[in-house]
A and B are shown apart, each in its own frame.
Chain A
Amino acid sequence: MIELKNITKAYMSGGVKINAVDNVSLKVADGEFIAVVGHSGSGKTTMVSLMGGLTKPTTGNVMVGGTDIWTLDNKQLALLRSEKIGFCFQFSSLIPTLTCLDNVRLPASFAGGQRGGVEHALSLLETVGVPDKANAYPSELSGGQQRRVAIARALINEPGIILADEPTGDLDEYTEADIMELFEQVNARGVTIVMVTHSRNLAARAVRTLVMENGTLSESSKTSS
């Protein structure tokens, strides 16, 4: 479970204090599929980054699996990120100098390497639909293929949570639908997914939709899965 307790993240911009996330509280149950929608600059990405421990809140607590993650030291926080959370980012997030197979195996090396076997990585590439791209470099892949490899990489350590920031941002609608189907399959295996998106259509495929506006969060609607 992820829980945000009265989270505020403030930035100074031109001498003016701006709350990118303003006193937000949220609970995400295990196995949920949540979509976060909102205009650009509304604080969606900041909120997801707070959930994943990529940035420290100005005030408030971030609980992951019952642990306040900002009470952990750097090493413990890094281990939590590698073992419990998988990230999918906007645009390509693959390391350009590594092959797809090595990209997929990379997070496992930070988590001790037990799950970083070639067989496991290849089976994930097969799961996401790019089994023939193991030895290809990211530059040889289309945008959709790169996103699939990134999803395989996010799954390598079998995390309980996937945080996806605009995972279909620059993809055509067919590839977008394929990626969404992939997320639904992952979610069906019990993995919690929090997905940031601009698209109300994509958000409609999630179980819960949250709306960010000027750093505040509100529940939009509930759809049946």
Chain B
Amino acid sequence: MGPWIKGNLPEGRLKDNEVILGSNAHIFFGKSESYIGDKEVFYGKEFTVVGILDSTGIGIDDGGFVTLASVYNMTKTSESNETKRLLDVKPGEISALMVNVKPEYARVDVATAIETQVSGVAVVTSKELMSSSVARQLEGLRPYLVMIGGGFWVISVLMIGALFSMVVNERRRELGLLQAMGATRAYIFRLVMLEAVQLTAIGGICGMAVGAAVIFVLKGTIEVSLGIAYLWPGAGFIAVFSLSLLVMAISTGILAALYPAIVASRLEPYQAIRTGE
């Protein structure tokens, strides 16, 4: 539940009178929103809401989590309080059990082991639970997505290179004048490269901001159309990922501006000043 939980759960285990609600559970209580601390009645038993999950895109959005003891207790309260529906769960009876597989074990191996060693159970793995068709589609699309991304990267390198070639050409006179004033070739080279770094860094930051905004706006659409939950990664991952993208953007700028910068540094001052007039 960790990634989906809103806020912090109280310390320790869930108590018998506490419930963690799915994101849509409030609808069943006729409310527009549920809040931590709300009191809700299930099958005649009152629970305190101690946690609310974010949207997961699967069935648990419509339900809640309580202790097993509370479930058995509810079977009694549902009879004694004459609720609309009886909760018919016999002691020792469970409908589903979620197994958290440690990273070092293969999910399929654990599923196979359970199916062979425990009779009368059906095992579904998390990929199937989420949406196997989506996972398969994404897997199939991956090579094409990589190719499209690579294509865009090559185009951007060429475009930035062409842009800086134009900038150098446009500023020939200025670059010639700088050399006449005493600028070395290395200075001219650094000047062009620094501008490339500045430009691509700003471009990278703007691109990331626009990308994040688009994903934020389309989050709901992604969940509905793909039938899977959309989760924001943790702050640490976002920071490292953003930094990596920024480094990639700057590296692209450096690579693209390399040739124009070399050309600029090799301009003869006299020719640069005269042809730039």
Contact = CB atoms under 8 A, between A and B. Distances in A.
Interface of A: 45-46, 49, 52, 54-56, 74-75, 78-79, 81-83, 87, 89-91, 93, 95, 106-107, 110-111, 153, 157
B273 interface: yes
For the complex of A and B, 9 pairs with smallest distance between CB atoms: A82-B182, A110-B182, A55-B270, A54-B270, A49-B270, A54-B269, A107-B181, A78-B184, A87-B180
A121 to B, nearest CB: 14
Contacts of A46: 270
B271 A87 contact: no
A196 B158 CA distance: 43
Interface in B255-277: 268-271, 273-274, 277
Contacts of B180: 52, 54, 81, 87, 89
Chain B binding site: helix, strand, loop or mixed by DSSP? helix
A87 B185 contact: no
B10 to A, nearest CB: 60
B182 to A, nearest CB: 2
B34 interface: no
Contacts, number: 58
A143 to B, nearest CB: 15
B184 A74 contact: yes
Contacts of A110: 181-184, 187
B182 A111 contact: yes
B178, B184, B277, most chain A CB atoms within 10 A: B184
27 contacts: A45-B274, A49-B269, A49-B270, A52-B180, A54-B268, A54-B270, A55-B268, A55-B270, A75-B184, A75-B186, A78-B182, A78-B185, A79-B182, A81-B179, A82-B181, A87-B181, A90-B277, A91-B277, A93-B177, A95-B174, A95-B177, A107-B182, A110-B181, A110-B182, A110-B187, A153-B181, A157-B182
Interface residues of B, number: 20
Interface string B93-115: 00000000000000000000000
B179 to A, nearest CB: 7
Contacts of A74: 184-185
A78 B179 contact: yes
A95 B177 CA distance: 9
Nearest to B269: A54
Given A52-B180, A107-B182, A111-B182, 4 more contacts: A54-B270, A54-B273, A82-B182, A153-B181
A106 B187 CA distance: 13
Contacts of B187: 78, 110
Contacts of A49: 269-270
A45 B178 CA distance: 18
A118 B69 CA distance: 82
Contacts of A52: 180
A56 B179 CA distance: 14
Contacts of A56: 268
Interface string B178-208: 1111111111000000000000000000000
Interface in B144-181: 174, 176-181
A107 B179 CA distance: 10
Contacts of B177: 89, 93, 95
Contacts of B185: 74, 78
Contacts of A81: 179-182
A60 B53 CA distance: 84
A106 B273 contact: no
A32 to B, nearest CB: 21
Which residue, B186, B187, B274, has most C-beta atoms of chain A within 10 A?
B274
Contacts of B178: 95, 106
A78 B277 CA distance: 22
Nearest to A52: B180
B107 to A, nearest CB: 60
A91 B176 CA distance: 14
B268 A78 contact: no
A74 B182 CA distance: 10
Contacts of A106: 178, 181
A96 to B, nearest CB: 8
A81 B223 CA distance: 66
A162 to B, nearest CB: 12
Nearest to B183: A110
Which interface residue of B180, B187, B269 has the most chain A CB atoms within 10 A?
A: B180
Given A89-B177, A95-B174, A110-B187, A55 B269 contact: yes
